[in-house]
Amino acid sequence: MRLSRYFLPVLKENPAEAQIVSHRLMLRAGMIKQAAAGIYSWLPLGFKVLRKLENIVHEEQIRAGHIPIQMPILQSADLWRESGRYDDYGEEMLRMKDRHGRDMLYTPTAEELVTDIFRGHVNSYKDLPLTLYQIQWKFRDEIRPRFGVMRGREFYMKDGYNFDLTKEDALHAYNRHLVSYLRTYERMGLQAIPMRADSGPIGGDDTHEFLVLADTGESEVFYDSAVTDIRLGQRDIDYDDKAQCQAVMEEFTSLYARTDETHDEALFQQVPEERRRSARGIEVGQIFYFGTKYSEPMGATVQGPDGKQVPVHMGSHGIGVSRLIGAIIEASHDDKGIIWPEGVTPFHCGIVNLKQGDDEADAACDKIYKALTALGLEPLYDDRNERAGAKFATMDLIGLPWRITVGPRGLKNGVVELTSRRTGESEELSPEAAVTRIA
């Protein structure tokens, strides 16, 4: 992409309404624009990152054997009356009437709708296990939307639902989700720690939240510092292997790590004192096992091996896709701007032409652009007639991992400058070597 033809409305000034760094940087980098309280338009750069995160989530869910679907944003209230949640959900649910006076709502989550799909089509235990998921906009009329996409009212969420014959199978689904979520966050360059949590309006007994440690997080957390040393890394996971998934779950959840809702001071005191930590965290996902809480009232049953009808065991699992962008920026930035992890960066490399209009510099930039593109990478070429300082500031703000700076003086010696956004280190290389280094 050439910057002269792109739409990147960066702001020079710090927007007054933004209280935390990720919100500030997303506005300044022209990623989002507020449309109403807690509701945002996604401008090209923000939209690109959102799509990248969405792709990672899809890839990891499909790898775990889960099946993508898409359910509507607007739902009829009828199903929610069946489960009893129409009244329970309270003011966070945005309710409306259609022209015929029927009660409708903007989906805050979709247990009822997916259970209705299931009961309409699945009759036998032979069709289990089944996990359906979607990535879809949700609406919750948060009392205090704030911090940009971190706590929006409209937000993008992956929500998955497992249907199993037995509790044991459903707990395997729980573990599968836990492992696939760990992989997902690690690919985004994030450490998200599973912590024992409270189930809230979803209901159920078993639940973990995934928290990214950050001072600006809204959750208070308590943990054994040894949990921060565990990584999934490149392990080969067989998602059908119950014992393996269970082992990973235990490895990640046996050390003390809880949110304030389930914090137990007596248990916490058993953690060696030098490893006891209390901190703030951002909730970027949650998994639940809730058994037959929805299947029973809604009649989602299957015929078991003995011919008897039994309600299925279920769980639901969510990832806050749009919130994750804020969490990534909170975890990865400096005073000049964002520093994207490689896995989610909107462009792989910036190209800065120090002397736009100079034949040699223009030609060298074009050549680098083509070489990067041929390797399947996406460069962002700043071909505007701007001062070098302004071009550098923009590149630093939008945080691409690499910058190649091209100018007549370097080209005389056959070199360009390659700069790492994360370390700030630069080296002079031939244009070909710079391209190879990035690839």
Tell me if 391 contacts ligand ATP by CB under 6 A: no
Q: Which is nearer to ligand ATP, 199 or 356 (CB)?
A: 199
Q: Which is nearer to Mg ion, 59 or 141 (CB)?
A: 141
Which positions from 310 to 339 touch ligand ATP by CB under 6 A, shown as an x/- string?
Answer: --------x-x-xx----------------
Q: Which is nearer to ligand ATP, 322 or 345 (CB)?
A: 322
Tell me if 283 contacts ligand ATP by CB under 6 A: yes
Tell me which stretch binds ligand ATP (CB under 6 A): 239-247, 277-285, 345-353, 424-432. Answer: 277-285
Please state, as a whole number, how many other Cβ atoms lie within 10 Å of the Cβ of residue 45. Answer: 24
* Residue among 83, 286, 353, 419 that touches Mg ion (CB under 5 A): 286
Say how many residues touch ligand ATP, by CB under 6 A.
16
* Nearest alpha carbon to residue 193 among 275, 277, 252: 252
* Residue among 23, 140, 187, 277 that touches ligand ATP (CB under 6 A): 140
The long-range contacts involving 365-372, CB below 8 angstroms and separated by at least 24 positions, are 365/406, 367/431, 368/404, 368/406, 368/416, 368/431, 368/434, 368/435, 371/431, 371/432, 371/435, 372/348, 372/435, 372/438, 372/439
Least distance CB 274 / ligand ATP (angstroms): 30
Tell me if 142 contacts ligand ATP by CB under 6 A: yes
Least distance CB 95 / ligand ATP (angstroms): 17
Least distance CB 208 / ligand ATP (angstroms): 11
Cβ-contact 92, 86 below 8 angstroms:
no
* Nearest alpha carbon to residue 192 among 53, 10, 387, 396: 53
Q: Which is nearer to ligand ATP, 157 or 245 (CB)?
A: 157
β-pair partners for 301:
311
- Paired tokens of 389: 């300082």
* Nearest alpha carbon to residue 319 among 160, 190, 120, 171: 160
Distances (CA, A) of 385 to 3, 29, 331, 397: 11, 19, 33, 18
- Paired tokens of 138: 């949700």
Q: Which is nearer to ligand ATP, 6 or 89 (CB)?
A: 89
- Paired tokens of 19: 């209280």
Can you give the binding site for ligand ATP, defined by CB under 6 A? 109, 140, 142, 151-152, 155, 157, 200, 283-286, 318, 320, 322-323
Kindly list the residues in this chain that would bind Mg ion in the complex (CB under 5 A): 283, 286
